Amino acid sequence: MSNPLLNLPLLPPFDRLQPEQVEPAIAESIEHCRQQLAAGLADPGWDSTLAPLEQAQDQLNRAFSPISHLNSVLSGPWRAPYEAALAQVTAYWTELGQNRDLYGVYQQLAQSPEFAAWPQPRRKAVELGLRDFDLSGVGLEGEARDAFAANSRRLAELSSQFANNVLDATNAWTWHTENETELVGLPQTALAAAKAAAEAKDLTGWLITLDGPSYLAVMTHADNRALRQQVHTAFISRASETGPNAGEFDNSAVMEEILTLRAEQARLLGMANYAELSLASKMAQDNARVLEFLNDLAARAKPAAEREFAELQDFARGKLGLDELRSWDIAWAAEKLKQERYAISQEELRPYFPYEKVLAGLFTVVEKLFDVSVQRDDTVPTWHRDVQYFWLYRNGERIAGFYLDPFAREKKRGGAWMDTVCVRRQTPEGLQLPVAYLVCNFSPPAAGDAPSLLTHYEVTTLFHEFGHGLHHMLTQIDVAAVSGINGVAWDAVELPSQFLENWCWEPEVIAMISAHYQSGEALPRELLDKMLAAKNFQSAMFTVRQLEFALFDFRLHCCEQGASAAEIQQLLDEVRGQVAVVPIADENRFQHGFNHIFAGGYAAGYYSYKWAEVLSADAFSLFEEQGIFDRATGNKFLHGILEQGGSRDALELFTEFRGREPNIDALLRHSGIEQLELNINPG
């Protein structure tokens, strides 16, 4: 029987994929790439070398994509095949990045007389290719060359190991009770989910897990302080040497080795540290600019955050009987204060945001903004019964597609993300449409006929990930290297996602995405007004928390020699001393679960979230001026940002869209701290 991972159609046949198919398919795909490269080098040129190689590598990427995806959303039997495939793929890309003959082809093309007349996407693909060759060690010799390749392979293994440890630690801890009085304060949605979790384990009563919806429900609503402490301690100590599973999934040594190897990669390339290497492919010019941006914002946001926390402490003492706020009290006390001040809570809003209504409203927003329609296709095979598949259309023509996996479940990686099934590109058979995975971890539907009900926070998460998806799916670029999010500077890649979040707060849009799941009643004006009034509740505390992560990440990667686990902790403590305003538990090992920088693409780049927030708020301000559904402005963003992919520099595209370089005014206004004046441009 033929291997379904080879000669794939546009959409992977998830109903026919098996773990044992992985290694032979990846091996054959890589061998095909090598053969194509050898043939192309014999006749250098775009059409004779780069285009056929792009075709072969697209087949490899499309074979590896469902393997990587299934490891993230199902884990279990897919972990070992994924890790074996990852080793093969990493070795290939490392080998390719150090291929001097191919590098010579890129150089020859860039220096050719006709290069200036080439289409912009092709020119940009060659320019980025040359940069990436330099960053892959193509110029290294002998032992340095071998060390760089070995480090690259090992770093891929370690990143996977880090993520596995976090997932395993998350799944390893549960808390079971048959006494409902221990769960006082939890909303009915959380209780129903806990009961379903217990039943899934053949238990009676209720089961609390460390999955996002369960953890957040306890920390925000459980009146049982001892339970909050227990759940919080388990969560913040995951994959570390402390906590209830101390040492079992410990990421300490993994972090140390990752940082050592990253620092060595930078040294081998003649750079001072990994942060410098990371910025070589970002908008920011140098380390000093990034640190100035983060430190300036922290210095101005912290006084407001301190005031917010002092208010919370006063409230806790006066109204909640807590003389001292501990880390496991913060979210719970904040929710109580929010309810007293605004008489609103996420749980009160949840019945008005049934998942299907929110999804339909999101599609309406996108249709009005960018003239595309979304249609569900139940004939497409998926990997789980909860997964839905959709096509995007414009003027009746199919232009893209996406899978949506919305709900939390066991053995599924936490968080939310967008990933690519395949990119838009021109193939010998015609245009290949872009297809995306959109993954969230929302509370699943309760037992019976009740739908999944989202908090407004989850609503914004859905809009955020769909913004990433639009960046991938609405591109008009046909060259894979700069199609969709490919080639986009990492500190600009969050622009479309954070940009789309803004519509979640517009009354006109809230009317589209909300309706009581039982009565169909619109969100009452009173609740809407309260929700909007509470939008910036503790926004400064949230800002300094994000800056804590960003500063820790960037300063960590400014180290020239890597760092030990103790030094990592010491640096995090220093950063917290600079920016944090809330108490930190002794068992807190946030760094051991920081997937973004140790298992994702955000190493020395977590600052991108704050920088992209500046861009997104400033971009949205044009819609505020012209109308949130102004078609001309929507077309301007579509044609000027989303369709361009990585074919042009991000700052150049933004400046053309906005008519000037970005400034922070809109972000400060949206955050309720518009009196701050910052020098924010990290470029």
454 with 358: CB under 8 angstroms?
A: yes
Q: How confident is the model at residue 663, as a pLDDT?
A: 83
Joined tokens for residue 122? 């092709």
Mean pLDDT of 78-87: 96
- The candidate with the shortest Cα–Cα distance to 426, out of 72, 32, 47, is 47
562 pLDDT higher than 50: yes
Joined tokens for residue 633? 């402005």
Mean pLDDT of 608-621: 92
d(CA 78, CA 71): 5
Joined tokens for residue 522? 């619109």
* pLDDT per residue as tens digits for the range 406-455: 999 989 999 999 999 999 999 999 999 999 999 999 999 977 678 999 99
Least confident of 176-180, 302-306, 541-545, 672-676: 672-676
344 with 361: CB under 8 angstroms?
A: no
pLDDT tier at 674 (50, 70, 90 boundaries)? low
The three-state DSSP-derived secondary structure of 551-570 is HHHHHHCCCCCCCCHHHHHH
- The DSSP call for residue 49 is I
Topology annotation, domain 350-531: Neurolysin; domain 3 (1.10.1370)
Cα angle 91, 97, 99 (rounded to 5 degrees) comes to 100
- The DSSP call for residue 437 is E
Q: How far apart are the first and last CA of the chain?
A: 54
3 state SS of 330: helix
d(CA 77, CA 31): 25
499 pLDDT higher than 50: yes
Q: How confident is the model at residue 664, as a pLDDT?
A: 77
Joined tokens for residue 631? 């078609």
Q: 599-611: string of b/e by CB count within 10 Å (b at 16+)?
A: bbebbbbbbbbbb
DSSP codes, 601-622: S-TTTTTHHHHHHHHHHHHHHH
Max CA distance (Å), the chain:
79
Q: How confident is the model at residue 143, as a pLDDT?
A: 97
The CATH number corresponding to 252-344+538-606 among 1.10.3720.10, 1.10.10.60, 3.40.640.10, 1.10.1370.10 equals: 1.10.1370.10
311 with 337: CB under 8 angstroms?
A: yes
Q: How confident is the model at residue 220, as a pLDDT?
A: 97
Q: Active-site residues: which are they?
A: 465
Mean pLDDT of 102-119: 97
Q: How confident is the model at residue 679, as a pLDDT?
A: 45
238 pLDDT higher than 80: yes
d(CA 605, CA 594): 13
Location of each CATH 1.10.1370.40 domain in the chain: 350-531
Torsion 112-117-119-123 (CA) sign: positive
496 with 645: CB under 8 angstroms?
A: no
Torsion 189-194-195-197 (CA) sign: positive
Location of each CATH 1.10.1370.10 domain in the chain: 252-344+538-606
The three-state DSSP-derived secondary structure of 207-250 is EEECCHHHHHHHHHHCCCHHHHHHHHHHHHCCCCCCCCCCCCCC
680 pLDDT higher than 50: no
pLDDT tier at 678 (50, 70, 90 boundaries)? very low
Mean pLDDT of 180-203: 95
1 pLDDT higher than 80: no
pLDDT tier at 285 (50, 70, 90 boundaries)? confident
Q: How confident is the model at residue 433, as a pLDDT?
A: 98
Q: How confident is the model at residue 450, as a pLDDT?
A: 84
pLDDT tier at 673 (50, 70, 90 boundaries)? low
- The DSSP call for residue 226 is H
Joined tokens for residue 10? 């546009």
Q: Strands 388-394 and 373-376: what pairing?
A: antiparallel
670 pLDDT higher than 80: no
257 pLDDT higher than 60: yes
Beta strands in 359-447 (DSSP E): 373-376, 388-394, 397-407, 417-422, 425-427, 430-432, 435-442
Q: Strands 388-394 and 425-427: what pairing?
A: unpaired
- CA atoms in the 13 A half-sphere facing the CB of 643: 11
Sheet holding 373-376, edge to edge: 373-376, 388-394, 397-407, 435-442, 417-422
382 pLDDT higher than 60: yes
Amino acid, res. 259: L
- Phi then psi for residue 16, to 5 deg, are -120, 0
Task: Return mean pLDDT, the chain.
Answer: 95
Helices 565-579 and 252-268 pack at an angle, to 10 degrees, of 90
Mean pLDDT of 289-303: 93
Residue whose structure tokens are 């620092």: 263
- Phi then psi for residue 448, to 5 deg, are 90, -150
- The candidate with the shortest Cα–Cα distance to 436, out of 421, 450, 426, is 421
pLDDT tier at 331 (50, 70, 90 boundaries)? very high
Q: Strands 397-407 and 388-394: what pairing?
A: antiparallel
3 state SS of 71: helix
- The DSSP call for residue 181 is G
256 pLDDT higher than 50: yes
Q: Strands 373-376 and 430-432: what pairing?
A: unpaired
**What are the residues whose beta carbons fall under 8 Å from the beta carbon of 327, sequence distance 6 or more?**
232, 236, 582, 583, 584, 585, 588
Share of the chain above pLDDT 70, in %: 98
**What are the residues whose beta carbons fall under 8 Å from the beta carbon of 663, sequence distance 6 or more?**
614, 618, 680
290 with 554: CB under 8 angstroms?
A: yes
pLDDT tier at 671 (50, 70, 90 boundaries)? confident
